[in-house]
């Protein structure tokens, strides 16, 4: 990934954090956290970095009265987001977490940065895109099925916004 793509990805994660802070203040979400594969603990003897999980957890988690969410933050600078941009360990984490019967929802917070300078941001439901990723991951995806076009994002989720977390059902 190039420096520009890294910067755009970091900007998207910063925007997600700002949204979550605002939504916590307005009580849309009860709380949230940015996940990390390591954590720093300070106590007797000073500071230690603890490696929690070498593969890393999902990027974000949030919870409210209507459920708990875990998601990866992804972006692309084109009209298609390639499924190859989701690592196998990330897909495993999302699959393990996603259980609507227990009010646990997983997904992809995806921002498309389009050539005309506009953006389109979505919370894609893992229940809808997980099967697509699974088919792609074993090499069985047909032509056009290895990515999600911006015009089709609404088939797999909802626009990024507070409403996705306030809903009683999966996004």
pLDDT attached to residue 156 = 96
| Residue 83 · residue 141 · CB < 8 Å | yes
pTM score, two decimals? Answer: 0.83
Q: Quick one: which H or E segment has residue 107?
A: strand 104-113
Q: What is the pLDDT of residues 61-120, one digit of tens each?
A: 999 888 999 999 999 999 999 999 999 999 999 999 999 999 999 999 999 999 999 999
What H or E segment, with its residue span, contains residue 78? Answer: none
User: Does 6 have pLDDT greater than 70?
Assistant: no
**pLDDT one-digit tens code per residue, 125-171:** 999 999 999 999 999 999 889 999 999 999 999 999 998 887 644 44
112 closest CA partner among 149, 162, 158, 165: 149
How many other CB atoms sit within 10 Å of the CB of residue 116? 6
Residue 54 pLDDT grade (very low, low, confident, very high; cuts 50, 70, 90)? low
Are residues 150 and 74 in contact, defined by beta-carbon separation less than 8 angstroms? Answer: no
CA dihedral 35, 37, 40, 41 (to 10 degrees): 90
Domain ranges of the chain: 3-33+55-166
CATH tag for 3-33+55-166 (out of 3.40.630.30, 1.10.10.10, 3.40.718.10, 3.40.1350.10): 3.40.1350.10
């Amino acid at each position: 990934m190039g420096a520009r793509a890294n910067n755009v990805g970091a900007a998207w994660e910063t925007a997600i954090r700002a949204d979550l802070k605002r939504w916590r203040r307005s009580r849309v979400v009860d709380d949230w956290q940015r996940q990390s594969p390591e954590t720093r603990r300070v106590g007797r003897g000073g500071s230690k970095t603890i490696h929690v999980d070498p593969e890393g957890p999902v990027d974000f988690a949030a919870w409210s009265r209507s459920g708990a969410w875990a998601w990866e933050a992804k972006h692309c600078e084109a009209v298609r987001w390639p499924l190859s941009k989701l690592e196998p360990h990330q897909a495993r984490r999302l699959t393990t977490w996603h259980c609507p019967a227990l009010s646990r929802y997983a997904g992809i917070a995806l921002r498309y940065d389009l050539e005309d300078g506009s953006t389109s941001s979505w919370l894609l439901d893992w229940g809808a895109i997980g099967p697509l990723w699974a088919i792609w991951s074993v090499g069985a995806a047909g032509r056009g099925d290895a990515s999600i076009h911006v015009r089709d994002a609404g088939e797999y989720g909802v626009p990024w916004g507070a409403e996705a977390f306030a809903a009683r059902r999966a996004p």
